[in-house]
Structure 1
Amino acid sequence: MENATKFCVTFIIYLFKEGPVCKMKKTGQQKKTEKSRSLGSRLSMLLGIVGLLILCSLSVPIVTMGSKSVKANLNKNMEDLLDITNEKTGRVFTQVQTLADSMMESISFVWDQNDAVGGAPANPWRINKFNDGNREVQEITPMQNTTFRSRILNQEIPASRYNAEVVMMNAMYSTLKSNPYVTGVGYFFEPGVLIPGVTDYAPYLTVKSAETRDIINYPYSYYKDKGYYKTAKETQKTTITSLYHDDENPEYSLITVCTPIIVNGEFKGVVNIEINLSAFDILAREDSRFPSLFTSVMDDQGNFLYSSREDLREKTLNDALDEKDVPELLSKMQEDKPFHVVLQNKSGQSRRLYFAPTQLDGTTLWSLMSISSNEYLRVTKRLITVSTIIVLCGVVLLTLITNLLIRSSLKPLQMMAKVGNQVADGNLNVEIQYKRQDEIGTIAQAFSKVMQQIKSIMQDLNEKLSSVSHGNFRVDLSDESLYKGDYRPLLLSLRDITTDLSNTMEEIKRSASEVNSGAEQVSNGAQSLSQGSTEQASSIEELSATMSEISDKIKSTAEQSLEANKLSLSSVEAVELSNQKMEEMSMAMKEITEKSNEIGKIIKTIDDIAFQTNILSLNAAIEAARAGAAGKGFAVVADEVGNLAQKSAKAAQNTSDLIEETIDAVSRGAKITEETAASMDLVKTKAEGITNIISKISDASEDEARGIVQLSSGLDQISSVVQSNTATAEQSAAASEELSGQANVLQDLVSKFQLKNEEKKEL
């Protein structure tokens, strides 16, 4: 239904955008072409479009029901094919599971026997014999103690384990020989569960080694961390590996079915059965109707275990589909229910995918069938195509038949069109020959009446306009018998024309008289204007000379202002230089003051030294007095030292007084310097003010000079205008005389017309 509806909607849109319906909406030149198309063609086209819409509206439900039916049958067909594929997949894995169960059951007896090495083999069976219709127990003599040596291990083992070995080896061999798609089989045990104390016990037999009777015994370390073994051990459910290649035969693609051996809830080991991918060749299906159809088997994680398309083997759903669609797909697979979806593969091709689950000892496998959406919808598209062709053929046939019928019915209108063209060309004497009294006959009679009415009106208008053309605006326009309905504006317009022309001529006549009198006044005024303009020109020349003198004086003033401005700027620079020197002198006095202070500190130090020296000389004199005659010479020295100390102290005091006086003088000089600097700053400020005033005077002088120049230029222009006015006044006087002559001629011409107002005046 979706495709059928889409087709019909698309076709209708085509009709209204690109097809005939669109042509009725075109403008400009296309509208002209549309208008020139015959009525028969337009009616046929419209009926064809209506027929097409009706057939489309009827076809949509039919095609929709057909599409639904076809899709339902296709879906049922695909689901049936998927069921068959799923059944075959289940059959393969069920057979493998049966083999694994058989191999496990074949050694189930060993778990209940606990015989020791070298002991007598136990016989768990009781034998009955049938004698004369009666069943009797057969007495069996037990075996003596016997030593059995393992065929796999290089050691002695209990009899029950020896029997288990024989059973396992025979089971592996028979499984390989009786099942061609099985490429390897083996028992992998936990350490010590089959034979106490034995850690590595995992006999394995392949197709190739079965021919030479070579059994491989894998160590526990080889398989204990393998994913299939760990998963089977943890979940205690059958595990299926991903696709891999055989080491001995790389061309073989294999999967392994790992079935756990559970005894009383305890994990003992696994039975491994390797399956060649050829076991699934029974799933390969070729259908000439659907070349793109292929089947696959995958686990619940989206890993392909088998696919009839070789490029998908050993791949995942992420490799086949857009990665953003895979999580939702895996989520649906967790529901363990059949479903189908429509997705795009990596190549962007739309495909329909059908999924169905298969259970294998708690493990879910999925059968997948995929088909191209284009192939799936091919039958539906074919149905739509056939329906479309039938609809289009019906529309074309309906349009052709309708066109023939309409053309034959509308043929008389062609004759009417020819008559109309002749009337349009001005031929009102043509005859219409149509005798039937139908709608076209009524049109023909009305056409004849119209031509007769037009002919009468044309004759009447010709007579009236002929009178008007000869200057008679008094023609009689009161008869309205011919001018009825929409013809009446012709007579009214003619009345308006004659009235307007009569009034216009009368106005022209009156205006000519006024122009004549006005021309004389203009001539007199022009002569007066010419004389006044001559006097204005003389005055303007004198004013121009005066303005030139003023301009020269203003220019001189501006130049002197510029010189004064330059001198003022020079004085400002000199004041600035004096300020700088005063600042330098002030700095020098500050340095003198600082140095004098330092000298004062030195003199104070000398004074302190003299004071100390004097004290020392006193102490020396005291000590010399104590020494008596021995210290007499030392006393003389002490006196001299004391005298020198007193002289040094006095000299230091005098020097200190001089320095203080110097500092006072320097301070007074610094103060005078600061006052002088302040005065210089004031002079600088005043000089700058004078400079600004002179600059403004200079700028104003320049502006005045420019204004005088512009004023002089304006006076020159006024002089030119006055001269032009003088010439114009002279020309106006001449033109006025010419205008007066033409007005007289115009009055003579207008007097020849017969005006309506003049008729009233005469009456």
Structure 2
Amino acid sequence: MHFWRKLSIQNKLILSMTSCLLVFVAISSGLSIRLIGNAVRDRVVREELPTAVNGIRADVQRQMAGPIAASRILARDAFLLQWEADGEPDAGTRNWIQLAKNVKDEQKAASVQWVSVKSGNYYNEAGLQRKVTDKDQWLTSFLSSGKAYDVNMDREVTVGGYMMFINSRVELDGVPVGAASMSLSVDALAKGISAYRIGETGFAYLVRPDGAIMMHRDTSLIDGKHFLKDEPGLPGEASSTLLAGKPYAYLSYEGDGGARFIATSFIPELNAYVVVQVPQAELLGPVTRAIRSAALVAAVVGLGVALLVIWLVGRAIAAPIRRAATLLSEIASGQGDLTRRMTVESEDEIGQLSDAFNRFVSSLSTLVHRIRAASASIATGSAQIASGNADLSERTEGQSSNLERTASSMEEITAVVRNNTETATTAAKMINGAADTAARGGQVVGEVVTTMEQISDASQRISEIIVMIDSISFQTNILALNAAVEA
């Protein structure tokens, strides 16, 4: 708080506005990053991810279109249909072998098969391999399904291991009589699937409608025992959302490596789903980093421009106040020029402050002039008072002399009074003696009368002296009062 009090108004304005600006920039940047991030996330899951999934689906469909078409053409081949109708004579087996090899080489298939329901023979490009047994339930299920073709994965008995089978329905006069099949190496398909990359580590694979993994870059998972629901962190209800037969479905979940996207797209031709998994950071990270970098650059540039504007505004606000403070300081120190005025440059509070300051200085200047005039009058009066005091001093000296003469007269009066007292005492004694000697005669009475007259004259003179003393005392008091008033 002490630090804040020591700051100038300009620095306070700059610090306050900069703090508010920093808070605003932080909040707005955070909101912008969040809102833009949400928008980018929506765009990723609604545009980019569907595009990637649909692209993979289209590519898988393109890759499977050739083998499927070849399998269906094989099922409708006139020679094979006649061969089937003739009971598969050995003479036609060589033709089958040649045809199967041609199809195999053309489609790069692992094997090409022909299965007859009537004879139970199971042929491939090498000829007759075996008889169909009760374990081959796939044939019965496929023919009873009524589908023109089916794509499935199963274990190939002749070669061992799992293969991708494309089964096409063989009919004679509308009656199913067998199946023309083509098996593709799962390893080759898995390599093709594993070649897809979404982001840096995102990958794609195929699953059956029940969630069983059909093709995966990890071939050990293609055993019918691993399902989509087994993915670590995937919610239990995810399968019902992702495997609902929709062209596109997605959800996000927390996997082992953090938040991830998983999206699916149904491929009717394969009766399977293409599944894409990708970490969210790989799709959103670059955009989020770009947004953060852009927000940081914008914040720095905006903050720099704002600081410049704040500095200019603070300077414009503080400069008139600083000038007013300087002028007031000069006035307070006695060195101010009361003729100087502040320039009124606006009609806002600063302009009002400048105008009020100018009116204050004008009023102060007028007051100083009045005080100066009053001081001159006081100086003249003081000179007159000094002259009067000098006259009073002279009169006081005269009165002092009069007082000295009065004191001398008082001493004489005291002596006279003392004499009169003695005379009165003598008279009293004489009166007492007269009382005793009243009988002596009128001469003594005459002497007493004469003495009383003398006493009366002396008393009269004493009374006059006392009156004169009272007059002198009154005049002295008046002079002292005048001297006090003039002082």
Aligned partners of 2:335, 2:362: CA distance in 1, in Å? 8
2:201 is paired with a residue whose SS is coil
Tell me how far 1:399 sits from its aligned partner: 1.6
**Aligned residue in 1 for 2:184:** 275
**Aligned residue in 1 for 2:122:** 202
**Aligned residue in 2 for 1:109:** 82
Specify whether residues 33 and 324 from structure 1 end up closer, same or farther in structure 2 by C-alpha distance, changes over 3 A only. Answer: farther
Q: Deviations over 1:615-661 (max 9, x none)?
A: xxxxxxxxxxxxxxxxxxxxxxxxxxxxxxxxxxxxxxxxxxxxxxx
Specify whether residues 65 and 319 from structure 1 end up closer, same or farther in structure 2 by C-alpha distance, changes over 3 A only. Answer: closer
Letter in 1 for 2:212: N
1:221 is paired with a residue whose SS is coil
Tell me how far 1:348 sits from its aligned partner: 5.8
1:254 is paired with a residue whose SS is strand
Q: Deviations over 1:86-135 (max 9, x none)?
A: 2221233332222322332342124555xxxxxxxxxxxxxxxxxxxxxx
Tell me how far 1:376 sits from its aligned partner: 2.1
- Within 5 Å, give how 1:598-613 maps onto structure 2: none
Tell me how far 1:402 sits from its aligned partner: 1.7
Tell me how far 1:341 sits from its aligned partner: 1.8
What is the aligned counterpart of 2:89 among 161, 184, 188? Answer: 161
What is the aligned counterpart of 2:71 among 94, 97, 100? Answer: 100
Specify whether residues 432 and 291 from structure 1 end up closer, same or farther in structure 2 by C-alpha distance, changes over 3 A only. Answer: farther
Tell me whether 1:327 sits opposite 2:239 in the alignment. yes
Tell me how far 1:276 sits from its aligned partner: 1.0
1:302 is paired with a residue whose SS is coil
Specify whether residues 444 and 308 from structure 1 end up closer, same or farther in structure 2 by C-alpha distance, changes over 3 A only. Answer: farther
Aligned partners of 1:350, 1:325: CA distance in 2, in Å? 17
Pairs aligned (count): 346
1:220 is paired with a residue whose SS is coil
- Within 5 Å, give how 1:556-575 maps onto structure 2: none
Tell me how far 1:394 sits from its aligned partner: 0.8
2:264 is paired with a residue whose SS is strand
Tell me whether 1:317 sits opposite 2:228 in the alignment. yes
The answer (yes or no) to whether the contact 1:300–1:330 under 8 Å persists in 2 is no
The answer (yes or no) to whether the contact 2:163–2:185 under 8 Å persists in 1 is yes
Q: Deviations over 1:174-194 (max 9, x none)?
A: 3333333x223323333xx13
The answer (yes or no) to whether the contact 1:201–1:220 under 8 Å persists in 2 is no
Letter in 2 for 1:297: L
Tell me how far 1:275 sits from its aligned partner: 0.8
**Aligned residue in 1 for 2:62:** 91
Aligned partners of 1:429, 1:221: CA distance in 2, in Å? 120
**Aligned residue in 1 for 2:53:** 82
Tell me how far 1:429 sits from its aligned partner: 6.5
1:324 is paired with a residue whose SS is coil
**Aligned residue in 2 for 1:402:** 310
What is the aligned counterpart of 1:216 among 117, 129, 132? Answer: 129
Tell me how far 1:409 sits from its aligned partner: 4.7
**Aligned residue in 1 for 2:112:** 185
**Aligned residue in 2 for 1:436:** 342
**Aligned residue in 1 for 2:485:** none
TM-score (norm 2): 0.55
Specify whether residues 403 and 432 from structure 1 end up closer, same or farther in structure 2 by C-alpha distance, changes over 3 A only. Answer: farther
Q: Deviations over 1:417-439 (max 9, x none)?
A: 8999x9xxxxx877777852652
The answer (yes or no) to whether the contact 2:248–2:266 under 8 Å persists in 1 is no
Tell me how far 1:53 sits from its aligned partner: 4.5
Specify whether residues 352 and 170 from structure 1 end up closer, same or farther in structure 2 by C-alpha distance, changes over 3 A only. Answer: same
What is the aligned counterpart of 2:294 among 386, 389, 394? Answer: 386
Specify whether residues 88 and 405 from structure 1 end up closer, same or farther in structure 2 by C-alpha distance, changes over 3 A only. Answer: closer
Tell me how far 1:388 sits from its aligned partner: 4.0
Aligned partners of 2:236, 2:93: CA distance in 1, in Å? 52
Tell me how far 1:386 sits from its aligned partner: 0.2
Tell me whether 1:172 sits opposite 2:100 in the alignment. yes
What is the aligned counterpart of 2:141 among 231, 236, 242? Answer: 231
Letter in 1 for 2:307: T
Letter in 1 for 2:229: N
Specify whether residues 375 and 431 from structure 1 end up closer, same or farther in structure 2 by C-alpha distance, changes over 3 A only. Answer: farther
Letter in 2 for 1:240: V
Q: What is the alpha-carbon root mean square deviation over aligned residues?
A: 4.8
Aligned partners of 2:221, 2:7: CA distance in 1, in Å? 63
Q: Deviations over 1:361-387 (max 9, x none)?
A: xx5222333433222223542135303
Specify whether residues 413 and 330 from structure 1 end up closer, same or farther in structure 2 by C-alpha distance, changes over 3 A only. Answer: closer
Specify whether residues 64 and 111 from structure 1 end up closer, same or farther in structure 2 by C-alpha distance, changes over 3 A only. Answer: same
Aligned partners of 1:392, 1:247: CA distance in 2, in Å? 71
**Structure 2 unaligned regions, length at least 5:** 345-352, 365-487
Q: Deviations over 1:158-216 (max 9, x none)?
A: 6x633554444333333333333x223323333xx13xxxxx532345xxxx5xx7x52
**Structure 1 unaligned regions, length at least 5:** 1-30, 114-157, 195-199, 423-427, 451-763
**Aligned residue in 2 for 1:562:** none
- Within 5 Å, give how 1:29-48 maps onto structure 2: 37-48=7-18
Specify whether residues 386 and 202 from structure 1 end up closer, same or farther in structure 2 by C-alpha distance, changes over 3 A only. Answer: same
The answer (yes or no) to whether the contact 1:357–1:366 under 8 Å persists in 2 is yes
Tell me how far 1:220 sits from its aligned partner: 1.4
- Within 5 Å, give how 1:354-365 maps onto structure 2: 354-360=263-269, 364-365=271-272
Tell me whether 1:338 sits opposite 2:247 in the alignment. yes
**Aligned residue in 2 for 1:373:** 280
Aligned partners of 1:339, 1:241: CA distance in 2, in Å? 22
